[in-house]
Amino acid sequence: MVSVRLTAQLQRVKEVLATWKEVDERVSKLCTTLLAAKVTSTGDACSAERVTSGLVGFLSGNFSGNTWRDEYLGVNATVKENGGAQKADNGMKFTGRGAGAEWPVGRQGENQPYHFANYNFTLVATVSIEGVPKSGSVPLIGATLNVSEGENKLMELSYNNEKNWQFSCGGQNDREVQQHFGGRE
């Protein structure tokens, strides 16, 4: 039997829990759209309980080099080095084909802390569109499962030239969401 003092580890756990609470509060305030203001049910998708339930990572304005730091103190994202990314207010601005970042929660090896992300996760994103595509649609965010034969697309959110969102899930046909947002382009 060995006796070990865990005072430092206990302090770290307390710091992490305090950080999670603070980030949960910030994330729950992101969903303050006009739609959320109209819906008063506590069970709607924009309620504070729902928007942070299952959320284990938050990529916001904490960025340097090609590392986008997870504010929940978990797995950091890696920004692609193609010159299409720059820091913006509370996040990143990606421009050009192929610009983006990867949050590699599924590539953590055998001791994978986010094993549940392989079957259940919450994805919250705020997106600003600066221009309408000239034709077709532009993918904005997606989730893929990397398998040995290639990538398997789980979901993708795109924006098209008719100012509509398109949502694809599991390789199924796109479902177009006919919603304009205040005429902004």
The C-alpha atoms of residue 130 and residue 163 are separated, in whole angstroms, by 11
**Which residues touch 171 (CB under 8 Å, ≥6 apart)?**
152, 153
In this prediction, residues 119-144 reach a mean pLDDT of: 79
Q: What local confidence, expressed as pLDDT, does residue 18 receive?
A: 94
Could you tell me the two tokens for 155?
A: 């979901």
Domain segments of the chain: what residues? 7-126, 127-185
- Give the pLDDT band of residue 44 (cuts 50, 70, 90): low
The C-alpha atoms of residue 141 and residue 32 are separated, in whole angstroms, by 20
- Give the pLDDT band of residue 40 (cuts 50, 70, 90): very low
Write out the H or E segment, with its range, that includes residue 144: strand 137-147
Helices (H), the chain: 7-28, 34-38, 48-52
Range name among 44-58, 100-114, 160-174 with the lowest pLDDT average: 44-58
Query: Among 110, 170, 178, which residue's Cα sits nearest to residue 144?
Result: 170
- Exposed, middle or buried: residue 84 (CB in 10 Å: 0-12, 13-18, 19+)? middle
